[in-house]
Every structure is written in structure tokens, then in C-alpha cells.
Structure 1
Amino acid sequence: MTSQQQNSPRSPARVNRSRVNPMASVALITAAALVGVGVLAVQANGSAPNKSATTTIDKQQPAQQQPTAPSTNQAGQTVTPPPDPTALPDDSGKGKRIVYSLAKSRVWLVGADDKLQMSAAAVPGTVSPTPGTYAVSKWKATAKGADGASVQYQVLWGPASANTKFAFDAIASLGGDQVPQKPAAGTTTGGVRLTQNDALAVWQFATAKGTPTQIVVVS
């Protein structure tokens, strides 16, 4: 090959084949960078702690264990929230029982395992029992209250030394969740009135076979 042939310029076709397209280089570099970021993300995700289990455990913790900030008034003084009227009263016995609060006009059903099963508002009779522990004496599907009202799901209880004169029951003519009215003025009754649905729950609880049901009356 002569010197003239060695120094002769390359043909346009050869120049185009050897030259690298700058746009293609940018695309290749960008793609490689994205692949690297993806690999790092996968590695980071694999080494990161799993927080979903912690969240589930937190949700399963009882509400009373969650710390709460005390309420304060405008003067910065700590305000104690009022007691929950639906909370089971303290010193209300042990084991399977129906707890009746005179002050709160409310009943609670507590199982033999001391776990609360139900709480419901009640309409007291005109005669109030003395706080204490009583036994269920008998029950009637339908009956006449001492005030003459037709009742059902009647669970009777009272002092063993006296005629039973207290009972949980429901007015037969009312709907399932309809709250009964207070006994008429001038009547004498120890019936503690509940809605139909609540009285049925008390009936089923008290008449279930197994552990006897106690009635615990608190002030």
C-alpha cells in the first residue's frame, strides 16, 4: 500500500459506521443507571424490617394500655373525665351473675369467666331492692306485673326469707328495642323493665343450664 493510499481520507460510508451516535450513548447510560437504582431498591427492601406485624400487634393491644394525654382546661389545669356510666361497677361480685345498679339504672351480664357479655339500660320499679346478692328463684315466659302490666321474659329474684317481688322483664306489647315507660304513679312494683331484646338476653342468660346465676344489686 502506498503512502498516498495510507493518508487518503476515509469514505463517507466508513466514517458513518465507526462514529457512535451520541443520543444512543445517553440512552444506554440512562438505562444502566435505572437498572442500578432498581437493584439497590430491591436490596434495601429486602433488608428493611417488616412493620406490618408491629402494626397488627399494636391494634390487638387493649385500649386501656394505650397512653393518653390528660385533658386540660384553658387555665392549664388537669381535667378528670367523668366515669363511664356503662362500665361494670367495682365490687360487683365474682362468677356468673347479673349486676343491677340502682344509681345507674343499668344491668350487666357477666359470665362465669368474669367477662362482660352485655350491658343495658333499665327502668326501675317503684320498689327498690336492698343492695346485696340474691338468687334467681323462678322465671315465667308470660306473666302479670304487680302493676297489672302484661310482661314476658320474667326472671324473678328476691330475699330467700320473703316472697319474691323483684324481677327483670319486658312489656309484652312493646317492640324489640322500644324502651318501656316508668310505672304509673301510685302503683307498686319491683319489676325492673327492659326492652324486649334485652329482657330476652337476660332470660336466656339466667335460664341457661350450668352454673347458677346470681343477682348482685349495687347502689
Structure 2
Amino acid sequence: MAGTSSAIVAGLTAAALATIGYLGHRAAVTVPAELRPPAPGTAAAVHKALRDRNHPAALPARSGTGERVVYALDDDRVWLVEESGEVRRTFGVSPSTVDPEPGTYRVTSRSGTVTGSDGVPVEHVVRFASVEGTAIGFSAAVDGSAPQLDPEELTGGIRETRADGAAMWRFAGIGRKVVVVR
């Protein structure tokens, strides 16, 4: 009798697992790919920033660990994050016309003062990426102005206020991790 009930339980378990597998497959087939969440472990899943809509300045979930700069493309916001995960500073930025892909980068170069690709004198330039020859980095206009973006002109300067630029300069030395999220 015990062998029979074990066989029944095993049969029911197998049937349940097969049904769950089939329904999962059907759901994946009938839901358009763009509406499905990213597969766990993929780059899209790792870098898709979940936002706390009640606290828009809150650090995005899945934005990495350790000491880092986090740049959210969709929110035009930056976070300077301590090793402990505590946010040292967060601020809005003016985006460039060229965006880096979501991912993890490192600060590759810095310049105290230069002329930006839009012809405006900038300071505290912290570069971390390049897209088809356009250098991408954070900077502050010396005159405090916001950029006048021409969508036809390829620029990589993500503009900060002078105070935020000074904070970025102190925080983001060569090699500092920069995590870009949507």
C-alpha cells in the first residue's frame, strides 16, 4: 500500500510540474518580448534600475555595490555612493546628446579646465566612456550655464552645477567605478 501512495504522489508531482512548465512556456510565447521583464542574470536585468516613485531621488535598485558614481539616463540624476552603500550626494544633471550604454565603467581621465565640445569653458571634467569617438563625462560650465543642446551636434558633456562638479571632482578619481542605468 505504501508503494502505491508513493507512486501516486510522484505521478501527481510530475503532472503538476509539467503543467507549470507548459503554462510558463505559453506565457512567454504570448507576451510580447518588450513587455516581458528581463531574464534574471542578463545585463538588462542587472542594469534595469527600479525606481522608488515616492522618492525619486532614492538610489536606484540594482545599481551596483561599493564606492561608485551612479548615473541614471532616464532621470538625468547622479548619485555619489560610499563603500557602505550610503549616498554621499545626489543631484540632477543636464544630459549630453550622446548617451553611454547602461553598464559599468571606470573613470579614465580628468581635466581641471578645458573647452567643452559645445565651445563652452568647463571645469572638473571626469570622463568615463566613449561612444563612436565622442568622449562621455561629467563637467560644469565655468559660467554656470546649462548647455544649449543641438540634437545634430554630438556632445558627451553631462553638465552639473559648479558645486556638484566640485563634489564629483573630489569623489571620482581615475579608476572610480561609474554605473550607468536606465
TM-score by length of 1: 0.55
Indicate if the aligned counterparts of 2:134 and 2:155 stay in contact, CA closer than 8 A: no
Q: How far is the alpha carbon of 1:185 from its aligned partner?
A: 4.5
Secondary structure of 2:180's counterpart equals strand
Distance 1:157 1:163, change over 3 A: farther
Q: Is 1:139 the equivalent of 2:102? A: no
Indicate if the aligned counterparts of 1:98 and 1:107 stay in contact, CA closer than 8 A: yes
Among residues 93, 116, 124, which one is paired with 2:95 in the alignment?
A: 124
Q: How far is the alpha carbon of 1:83 from its aligned partner?
A: 3.1
User: What is the aligned partner in structure 1 of residue 154 from structure 2?
Assistant: 188
- Give unpaired runs (5+ residues) of structure 1: 1-80
Among residues 162, 165, 169, which one is paired with 2:135 in the alignment?
A: 165
Indicate if the aligned counterparts of 1:125 and 1:182 stay in contact, CA closer than 8 A: no
- Give unpaired runs (5+ residues) of structure 2: 1-51
Secondary structure of 2:108's counterpart equals strand
User: What is the aligned partner in structure 2 of residue 214 from structure 1?
Assistant: 177
User: What is the aligned partner in structure 1 of residue 167 from structure 2?
Assistant: 201
- Rounded to whole Å, the distance in 1 between the matches of 2:134 and 2:112 is 16
User: What is the aligned partner in structure 2 of residue 23 from structure 1?
Assistant: none
Indicate if the aligned counterparts of 2:110 and 2:126 stay in contact, CA closer than 8 A: yes
Secondary structure of 1:84's counterpart equals coil
- Rounded to whole Å, the distance in 2 between the matches of 1:196 and 1:91 is 29
Q: Which has the higher strand share?
A: 2
The runs of at least 4 aligned residues of structure 1 exceeding 6 Å deviation read none
User: What is the aligned partner in structure 2 of residue 106 from structure 1?
Assistant: 77
Residue type at the aligned position of 1:205: F
For these two proteins, the number of residue pairs brought into alignment is 131
Q: How far is the alpha carbon of 1:213 from its aligned partner?
A: 1.3
Q: How far is the alpha carbon of 1:114 from its aligned partner?
A: 1.5
Bigger Rg, which one: 1
Residue type at the aligned position of 1:155: V
Secondary structure of 1:141's counterpart equals strand
Residue type at the aligned position of 1:202: M
Secondary structure of 1:134's counterpart equals strand
Distance 1:186 1:139, change over 3 A: same
Secondary structure of 1:198's counterpart equals helix
Cα RMSD after superposing both structures:
2.1
- Rounded to whole Å, the distance in 1 between the matches of 2:63 and 2:111 is 26
- Rounded to whole Å, the distance in 1 between the matches of 2:102 and 2:165 is 21
Distance 1:207 1:164, change over 3 A: farther
Secondary structure of 2:107's counterpart equals strand
Indicate if the aligned counterparts of 1:125 and 1:192 stay in contact, CA closer than 8 A: yes
Percent pairwise identity: 36
Indicate if the aligned counterparts of 2:134 and 2:154 stay in contact, CA closer than 8 A: no
TM-score by length of 2: 0.66
Distance 1:82 1:158, change over 3 A: closer
Higher relative contact order (CA 8 A, sep 6+): 2
Structure 1, residues 93-139: CA drift from partner, whole Å, max 9, x if none? 01110000001000000012221100000000001110000010010
